[in-house]
Structure 1
Amino acid sequence: MSESESLLPSDEDLLARCRRGDERAFRSVVERYHGRLLATATGMLGPGMDAEAVVQDGLLRFYRNLEKFEGRSALGTYLTRIVMNQALKLLRQRQRWYRRFLSSDDPEHGVAEGSEEARIGQLEDEERARQIRAAVQQLKPEFRSVVVLRFLNEYSTEECARVLGIPQGTVMSRLSRALDKLAPLLKDLNQLSRSQ
């Protein structure tokens, strides 16, 4: 740990200050975890305003319910779980909306797909990042969530299990099935990498 890191307040200290109404402490929590939470939301929902809204909503829910955080998991894990739950809730709402839309008798009222691009991690090749993101977005939410947490957020299997509230074996099983489903979607990408 560097000297500058040792000068930063711990999560426990920030939480205690937040519970006493210190708004600067809460801003510090937001600054510390915003990037990780946005990566989680973007991995689940794709880039755009929905991901940012889910993060803001998750942080607001946490702030309003500070007393409910018992500290049984790390603060970052707890916040990620809130954001993941909000993203899954939004995905369910989208599915209901799409079903209603598809059952509509009026085919003229379509929804334009967003074309906003974002980088995944430090990938240099934006086309590769787009293909990976598109493949991940095709997974069902229960598989997408483990891929996002394990590979994008680099959580351990145990941390994924805590965030999702499922057994570690289920995380491993879903991850294995997700990778099986991603393999054919990313086949062309793998062949392109080998030819370079």
Structure 2
Amino acid sequence: MRFFVRQPADSDLIAGLRTGGNQRRQSEDRLYRKYVYLIAEGVRKHRLEEDDCASAYSDTILTVIEHILNQRFEGHSALSTYIYQIFNNKCIDLIRKKTSQRSQVHNAVSLDDSLLQLPDSARSIVQQLIAQSDVDRLRRLINQLGDKCREMILAWGEGYSDDEIARQLNYNTASVAKTSRLRCLERLRELYK
């Protein structure tokens, strides 16, 4: 006998996301799991690495959640069509970015090349200053994110899995913790610009 897991209806997911609180977190997790098959499809269709497709998929889910909450998703198409289109566009953006980076790599003068022209003692001092400056800036920006994001990013940076982070920070599942972590990292990326 075969058992099928009932997939949540799009209208239920959308209503849950808009409800907020614990209901929103559960709906985020269900939305993430419902369309996770797109990662494998992106690997097959776009010939990208699985990590790249997983990142594009997570970005897609975060974008869709934002669009639902901001009422930008108006329901003129099925939610699956909307998610697929955004995911597909993000994969194409990745391909374009990788292609343009490959062509630019030969035109750039790297900092490492410039450092090689310095004497050994000056080189190590400059490298230490750059590293310390980057670390200080990163600490300041992480502190701007708030306590929950800071704890999550620091735990992730120390090698804790999403499952461990979910238990430590009282998230329902590792998927919810991952979605929240990616949202925090996206905010950090925006601050870093």
Normalised-by-shorter TM-score class:
0.3 to 0.5
If the length of structure 2 is used for normalisation, what is the TM-score? Answer: 0.47
Looking at CA atoms only, which structure, 1 or 2, has the larger radius of gyration? 2
Structure 1 length as normaliser, TM-score? 0.46
